[in-house]
Structure 1
């Protein structure tokens, strides 16, 4: 198991159930650790070698699941009162590491497409999208990290 280096981040192994007519990919149950309510679910894609720059939700808990492809996530903790302040957590999830990552409010996240074909992300968000509760960095280089 990957050593989590940012307080509040959770990794939850998920099941893939093979069926000859189509597989089942588990995502989340309300009894799971990391579930903190339901606001919305949405899918997002990212192309191979592209990076979506840093964003920080102030209220929303993110629950990312990668059912297709592979996506590398980097999380940065700049919370003043955090025991892991100034720490990074770097993990690739997807076909070869099927887990859900739960990201609490108040930490930065950026990600890039690693899979060579289709990289699909599902977010099971705790609240509905609200553009007023997000901070963004325009460039991935705005937070110093060696990608």
Structure 2
């Protein structure tokens, strides 16, 4: 397992059950670490070598799962009261690293498509989408990171 360098971020190994007629991909149970209620679930895609810029939710907990392809996530902690302030955490999830990453409110996340085919992201969020609780920053200029 990757060494997590951000307070409150969890990586949870998930089961992929192979079946000749189609696989089963576990996502989340309410008894799992990181579950903090249910608000909505949505899917998103990201193209190979594209990067979606920094986003910070002020109230929402994110639970990202990558059932198809591979997506690189970078998380940055700038919370004043955090023991991991100014740390980055970089992890790739997907076909060869099937896990769920839980991202608490107040930390920045950006992600990049690294799978050459189809990169599919599932977010199991504890709140419904509310644009007023999101902050955004540009990928290369606002938070310096070597992508």
TM-score, structure 1 normalization: 0.99
Aligned to 1:135: 135
**For residues 10-67 of structure 1, what are the alpha-carbon distances to aligned partners after superposition, in whole Å with 9 as ceiling and x for unaligned?**
0000000011100000000000000000000000000000000000000000000000
Aligned partners of 1:47 and 1:113 also within 8 Å: yes
Structure 1 runs (4+) greater than 6 angstroms displaced: none
| Structure 1 position 123 matched with structure 2 position 138 | no
* C-alpha displacement of 1:138: 3.2
The aligned counterpart of 1:56 is: 56
Paired residues for 1:1-147 under 5 Å: 1-147=1-147
Instruction: Give the Cα–Cα distance (whole angstroms) in 1 for the partners of residues 145 and 65 of structure 2.
Output: 23
Q: Return the offset for 1:4.
A: 0.1
- Contact 1:8-1:104 at 8 Å conserved across structures: yes
Give the TM-score normalised by structure 2. 0.99
- Structure 1 residue 103: Cα displacement: 0.2
Q: Whole-Å Cα distance in 1 between the matches of residues 32 and 92 of structure 2?
A: 21
Contact 1:110 1:140 in 2 (8 A): no
Q: How many residue pairs align between the two structures? A: 147
Take 1:56 and 1:140, find their aligned partners in 2: how far apart are those partners? 16
Deviation for aligned residue 1:142 = 1.5
Quick check: 1:52–1:140 contact (8 Å CA) kept in 2?
Answer: no
Secondary structure of the residue aligned to 1:141 is coil
Q: What stretches of structure 1 of length at least 5 have no aligned partner?
A: none
SS at match of 1:47: coil
- Unpaired runs of 5+ residues, structure 2, are none
CA RMSD of aligned residues (A): 0.6
